[in-house]
Structures are given as C-alpha cells and as structure tokens.
Amino acid sequence: MKRVIVILSLCLVLILAGPVAAKTTFVSVGTGGTGGIYYPYGGGVAEIWSKYVKGVRAVAEVTGASVENVKLAHKGETVIGEVMGDVAVAGYNGLSKFKGKKHDILSMAIMYPNLLQVVALKKSGITNIDQVKGKNISTGSPGSGTNFMAEVVLKALGIPLDSFKDSRLSFTESANALKDGTIEVGTWSVGPGTSSILDLSTTHDINIISFTPEQTQKILEANKTYSSVDLAGGVYRGIDKPVPTIGVWNVMICQKSLDTDLVYKLVKALYEHNDYLLKIHPSAAYTTIENAVKYSPIPLHPGTIKYLQEKGIAIPEKLLP
C-alpha cells in the first residue's frame, strides 16, 4: 500500500510539473576557458536571462571559445556563443578555419573589445614578436579566437607557423607554462585585466610585447576587423606605460533560426540589466545599444533589430539579415 501511495504521489508531481517544464526554454551560452573573461561574462548573462526572462533557464558552458562557439551555435549544440569579431566574420562567410562552409549565425549583441596580449617573462629578453622563431610558445587553445587571431597576426608579419613549436594552451595553462618555463611566449586575445595574466604578474616580472607601427600596418591590412589600440599602463604589475597592440570587438552570436520574440526578450533583458553585468566585469561598460550597430561585424538577428528600433536606433543596411 505504501508503495502504491508513493507511485501515485510521484505521478501527481510529474503531472503538475509537466506543463511548467514544457514552458521552460533552455538557453546555453558557449563561453571559453575559466582563465579569461568570456566565462564570468557569460555566467552573468545567463543569470540575467534566468532571472528576468520568464520561462527561460540559461547556463554558461565552458568551451574552446570563438571558433568552437560558432560551430556549436551553427549545429544547435549551444544557442548563444561568445565570439571574437574576426571569427564571426569568418564563420558567417565560410572563410579560413570554416573551410568554405557558411555557418547559420547572426549577431545578437556587441560585448567589449579584446586586446592581443603577447606575454613573455622579462628574464627571457624577448621584446619583439619576431623572436618567437625557434621558441616554444602558445598561440591559444585549439578552436579559440586567440589561436585564430595569433595565426592571422603571425602570417601577416611573415612568421611561418612551422618556425616555432606551438603548445596551443588555454589561458590558465599558458600562465602556468610561463611560470615553469615550458613555454617562452604566451598569447591572449582577451579584455585587459584578465585573471590569468594578473596572477602571473603578481609572482613573475613580465613583458607584454608591443607592435611597431610597421608591424601594426601589416596586421591591419591582413584583417579589416582589427584596429590599432594601446593596452593601458598600470593594468598589470610592472607594465607601467601603454603598450601598442591590436584590438578586435567581441560579439554575442546566436542561431539564425532562433525565434525573433525570444531573442528580443533576451536582448531587452541584457541591456536593461547591464548594471548587474558591470558588477561581474568592468568590460560590460562596452555592452551598449549604440555599440551594437557601430561595431557588429555581421548582420543582426531580427529580434535584436526589433529591440534597437524600439529604442530609436537606426539600423545600417549592411546589418540587416
């Protein structure tokens, strides 16, 4: 009799829970490794959506970052992806690592700019990017935007990819490998003040390699989504003066087929609760409706367009899907 009562109780719970579960939309956010900004930023976005968008339960997932996020969103394995602008363009047009296959993605929001940060220990004596030849370095984990950007930059500067040993490590792994001497140069494409470099600079004297004006010009000619920008002095211990480097904007992408009303609600919540995201990382200050149209590297999703037009923002023709 007790067993029958338990079974009937469970059935009642399932019956009552059924309609609620059916109305829940699960949204996964493809981020990156835990040593960068993508993961905490994506976690904050997921919390906003779960709290403020009725019927949505969102979660941030650790991934290989930009290149993998484009592929996951295209296949439907994640709904949203955090991606560097150059990778978004390549995925949308089927270029480079996407090997001629155009991916079904659209821009949802602009996040913040990444800065290329090429790091060596000061004691190594490495001060110019040309010195990576013959060295053991890390251009970032496979499938990441860092790896994508590093290879574009090195090719633009005439540095063959087979002229050095590439360990292809995550941010945290690169910092640890620099500490123990298993690599001599590590590469980050990330917002300034990332935790893994901050941690490294507290225990070791570091040098962030700058680019000469001539090198910068070659890089900008190789990829139109890049810009010349300075990493401000004082962000990391021992780096007191601005460091000339390369920047690229990050974009939040989504599946092209995603429901317009859903994207509208997600974007509305993202912008209207950006104050919460700012508490997680100051880079969220760049996540504005104005920047969405100013810096989006690929066309916007209709749900985003609906919200921006509602706020009086004109949409350039090039951003219409």
Q: Do residue 243 and residue 282 come from a single domain? A: no
Together in a domain, 243 and 255:
no
- Angle of helix 302-310 relative to helix 260-272, nearest 10 degrees? 50
| C-alpha–C-alpha distance, residues 33 and 266, integer Å | 23
Q: Would residue 2 count as lying in a domain? A: no
Say if 176 falls within a structural domain.
yes
178 occurs within a structural domain: yes
Q: Tokens representing 142?
A: 């496979």
Task: Tell me, yes or no, whether 243 and 260 share the same domain.
Answer: no
Q: Are residue 125 and residue 205 in the same domain, yes or no?
A: yes
CATH number for 31: 3.40.190.10
CA distance 129 to 12: 66
Tokens of 266: 């997600």
- Give the C-alpha separation, 316 to 321, whole Å: 11
- Domain final residue pick, 213, 248, 283: 248
Whether 32 is in a domain gets the answer yes
Q: How far apart are CA 198 and CA 101, in angstroms?
A: 38
Domain boundary among 227, 248, 269: 248
Q: Are residues 192 and 284 in the same domain?
A: no
Q: State the total domains in the chain.
A: 2
- Residues 286 and 310 placed together within one structural domain of the fold: yes
Rounded to an integer, what distance in angstroms lies between the CA atom of residue 57 and that of residue 41?
16
Answer yes or no: is 71 within a domain. yes
Q: End of a domain among 193, 218, 248? A: 248
Q: Are residues 235 and 121 in the same domain?
A: yes
| Distance, CA of 235 to CA of 213 (rounded, Å) | 22
- pLDDT for position 36: 87
Residue 35 has a pLDDT of 84
- Residue pair 136/182 in contact by the 8 Å Cβ criterion: yes
In a domain, 233, yes or no: yes
93 in the same domain as 186 = no
Residues 224, 140 share a domain: yes
Residue ranges making up the domain that contains 196: 115-248
- DSSP character for 300? B
Q: What local confidence, expressed as pLDDT, does residue 11 receive? A: 44
Which amino acid does the sequence have at 78?
A: T
In a domain, 19, yes or no: no
- Residue 100 domain flag: yes
**How much is the pLDDT for 283?**
87
| Whether 163 and 236 share a structural domain | yes
* Residue 136 and residue 100 share a domain: no
Each residue's pLDDT, cut to its tens digit, for the chain (321 residues) gives: 443 333 334 344 444 555 444 589 999 999 998 888 999 999 999 999 999 999 999 999 999 999 999 999 999 887 899 999 999 999 999 999 999 999 999 999 999 999 999 999 999 999 999 999 999 999 999 999 999 999 999 999 999 999 999 999 999 999 999 999 999 999 999 988 899 999 999 999 999 999 999 999 999 999 999 999 999 999 999 999 999 999 999 999 999 999 999 999 999 999 999 999 999 888 899 999 999 999 999 999 999 999 999 999 999 999 999
Query: Which residues have C-beta within 8 Å of that of residue 247, sequence separation ≥ 6?
Result: 113, 114, 115, 116, 226, 227, 228, 229
pLDDT score recorded for residue 22? 54
121 and 80 together in one domain: no
